[in-house]
Amino acid sequence: MRFEDNIQFKETVKKYSIAKGVKLRFLKNEPLRTRVCCKEKCPWKLYASHDKRFDCYVLKTYNPMHKCYRSNENTMLSCKMIKKKFRDRILMEPKMKISTLQEMCKSELEVYATYSMYQRAKSDVLKEKQGSYVEEFASHWGICYRVVTL
CB 46 within 8 A of CB 13: yes
**Dihedral (Cα; 32, 16, 77, 102), 10-degree rounding:** 160
Look at residues 88, 78, 76, 74 and name the one whose alpha carbon lies nearest to residue 117: 78
Q: How would DSSP label each residue in 54-67?
A: TTEEEEEEEE----
Environment class of residue 74 by beta-carbon count within 10 Å: exposed (0-12), middle (13-18) or buried (19+)? buried
Cα(53)–Cα(70) distance, integer angstroms: 38
Closest among 31, 66, 75 to 46, alpha carbons compared: 66
Cα end-to-end span (Å), the chain: 61
What is the predicted pLDDT for the residue at 119?
Answer: 92
Question: Which residues in the chain come in under a pLDDT of 70?
Answer: 132-150
Question: Is 1:58 a contact under the CB 8 Å cutoff?
Answer: yes
pLDDT of residue 36: 92
Cα 23 → chain centroid: 16
Question: 63-96, pLDDT tens digit by residue?
Answer: 888 888 887 777 888 889 899 999 999 999 989 9
- The pTM of the full predicted model, rounded to 2 decimals, is 0.73
The pLDDT, as a whole number, for residue 97 is 93
Phi and psi of 84, rounded to 5°?
A: -65, -45
